[in-house]
Structure 1
Amino acid sequence: MTRNSKSTRIGKTSRRGRRHPLATIALVTIGLLSTGGAYALFSSTASAETSSVNTQASVDEGKKLFSSNCATCHGLNLQGVDNVGPSLYGVGAASVSFQVGTGRMPLANQGPQAEKKAVQFTEEQVSSLALYVASLSPGPAIPSAEYLGANGNASTGAELFRVNCAMCHNVAGAGGALTQGKWAPALAGVLPVHIYEAMVTGPQSMPVFNDTNLTPTQKADIITYLKYLDKNPSPGGFDLGAVGPVSEGLFIWIFGLGAIVAVTIWIAAKAN
């Protein structure tokens, strides 16, 4: 065998055994992707398990709170108690969040309707109560934060509010009297989440506005309108409670006619 043929074979062998320059980069990339995928899978699984554990812990806490504060009127299994408290089947987390989160529940005393008062539980406790009730009997859920930012269309919300709500709550949300000693509460300063929850659960004498009556976007527009009223007081000065002709007529009756009577007496006295 000649020297040239040996050199040719050695050159071919060395070229076949030489690693491609991109092979190292490819191996590192594959390793990183595999490690990252495994870590992401492990993290998501661990997060799901942690979330499940936390949720169950909240439900257990809610059960304790319910047994101590609510079961006397609503029953241990949400079945209600005759002539004391209604059943909670199907009310969902939204109703619990509204009633307990506004202080209406636990009920202070029997009356035409539950009155708003100081909240007796923390936000975490209210959430636990809502989760527990929803775990036994699902219903309307607590609304998503995307509908609670008061960043919708205030003009559309004002129109929807006038058509659906103003007959009870007044066009300015000042509230008003209803029949049998009941009333529609004022809406100034009410949290957006509670406004939304009231629409989907229909507390007291309020009708239920489900997503067929008012879409979530329309509910968000109504919230936007009410929050606009909170930030923009009456441009006409003193609004006399924003309850319309009742207070305005009373003002005219007392001060207007009073002024006329006073002037008449003054003229008569001066003539004498």
Structure 2
Amino acid sequence: MTSPHRSGGLLARMRRRRAVPRSKARRRIASATRLLAALVLAGGLYTAFAPAISAEDAPLSPAAMEGKELFDNSCITCHGSGGEGIQGRGPSLVGVGAASVEFQVGTGRMPLGSQSAQAIEKPPVFNEEQTRQIAQYVQELGGGPDLPEGTDLRSGGDVAVGGEIFRLNCSQCHAFGGGGGALSSGKFAPRLSDTTDRVIWAAMLSGPQNMPVFGDNQLTPDEKRDVIAYIQDTLKENDPGGFNLGRLGPTTEGLAVFVVGMTALIFTALWIAGKS
């Protein structure tokens, strides 16, 4: 016979053992509830502050609609239906902005003619209005650097200040006279003699190929106007000294002086010797 005292102790121990798993289960349920509440809160905050619709679903402006039609006919093969890019063919255009499109398409570098060290400037496929439309479409896809309105972007620029900025930041590649120059791996810096204000501004904003990006944090809009004023009002002037030798700098000038000058001196010396 089991005593009532022992029976009561056994029942108490069994109840405690049952209570332990129940307590663990409650804690697990509470942890899962808190985690679910945190996820719901995070999702709610994202929904509240994130854009309500994606860029592809956003309504496009009339200019962007025209640009989308041009894009779908000429650019979709390499850059994808939504500008997301295709691996091995073309990079994503989401976030590059209208500035990049105006530079690449406006100078004929795009559509790309052939795979080479860098895109070569050639006659544009699209006219100025079509280029602006494609640029507007890409701008509305994902934002990015955009250009000011108008074609005269150097008005009010300080030529002297622009010259200092150009010599400090640009002359290493484009040469002091803006004649361009060779870079590594078959690349080169182009001449600046036939560029427009918008192309120069777009190049500074987008940093094509080997060129660094000069955003508004690096060069303010006023400084960009100064640089463009220097390029357009000084580097494009007629050369008062005569033939500019490509404006490639002192190397070609020194070589020309040596070859021409020394040849003239040698023939002069021979002529004098023959006469005497």
What TM-score comes out, normalization by structure 2 length?
0.73
CA deviation after TM superposition for structure 1 residue 163, in Å: 0.7
Query: In structure 1, how many angstroms separate the alpha carbons of the residues matched to 2:269 and 2:74?
Result: 63
Query: In structure 1, how many angstroms separate the alpha carbons of the residues matched to 2:272 and 2:158?
Result: 56
Q: Report the equivalent of 2:184.
A: 179
Alignment of 1:220-231 (within 5 A): 220-230=225-235
Query: In structure 2, how many angstroms separate the alpha carbons of the residues matched to 1:172 and 1:265?
Result: 37
Q: Report the equivalent of 1:130.
A: 135
- Change in 2 beyond 3 A, CA 1:64/1:214: same
Gaps of 5+ in 2: 1-59
Deviation string, structure 1 residues 202-246 (Cα, Å, up to 9, x no partner)? 011100001111000000000111111255323333222221112
Q: Report the equivalent of 2:193.
A: 188
Query: In structure 1, how many angstroms separate the alpha carbons of the residues matched to 2:114 and 2:170?
Result: 27
Query: In structure 2, how many angstroms separate the alpha carbons of the residues matched to 1:265 and 1:142?
Result: 62
1:89 equivalent to 2:94? Answer yes
Give the AA of the match of 1:235. P
Deviation string, structure 1 residues 9-46 (Cα, Å, up to 9, x no partner)? xxxxxxxxxxxxxxxxxxxxxxxxxxxxxxxxxxxxxx
CA deviation after TM superposition for structure 1 residue 265, in Å: 4.8
Q: Report the equivalent of 2:263.
A: 258
Deviation string, structure 1 residues 62-105 (Cα, Å, up to 9, x no partner)? 11111111111111122222222222121101111111111111
Query: In structure 1, how many angstroms separate the alpha carbons of the residues matched to 2:103 and 2:175?
Result: 21
Q: Report the equivalent of 2:238.
A: 233
What TM-score comes out, normalization by structure 1 length?
0.74
1:101 equivalent to 2:73? Answer no
CA deviation after TM superposition for structure 1 residue 268, in Å: 6.2
Larger deviation: 82-91 or 170-179? 82-91
Q: Report the equivalent of 1:198.
A: 203
Q: Report the equivalent of 1:71.
A: 76
Tell me the percent identity.
47
Query: In structure 1, how many angstroms separate the alpha carbons of the residues matched to 2:166 and 2:155?
Result: 14
CA deviation after TM superposition for structure 1 residue 165, in Å: 0.6
Query: Residue 180 of structure 1: SS of its match in structure 2?
Result: helix
Q: Which among 140, 156, 167 is matched to residue 145 of structure 2?
A: 140
How many residues in Structure 1 have an aligned counterpart in Structure 2? 218
Kept in 2, the 8 Å contact 1:150–1:223? The answer is no
Q: Report the equivalent of 2:163.
A: 158
Give the AA of the match of 1:139. G
Kept in 1, the 8 Å contact 2:151–2:197? The answer is no
Gaps of 5+ in 1: 1-54
Kept in 2, the 8 Å contact 1:147–1:217? The answer is no
Query: Residue 151 of structure 1: SS of its match in structure 2?
Result: coil
CA deviation after TM superposition for structure 1 residue 257, in Å: 2.8
Query: In structure 1, how many angstroms separate the alpha carbons of the residues matched to 2:144 and 2:97?
Result: 4
Deviation string, structure 1 residues 121-153 (Cα, Å, up to 9, x no partner)? 122211110111111111001224497044311
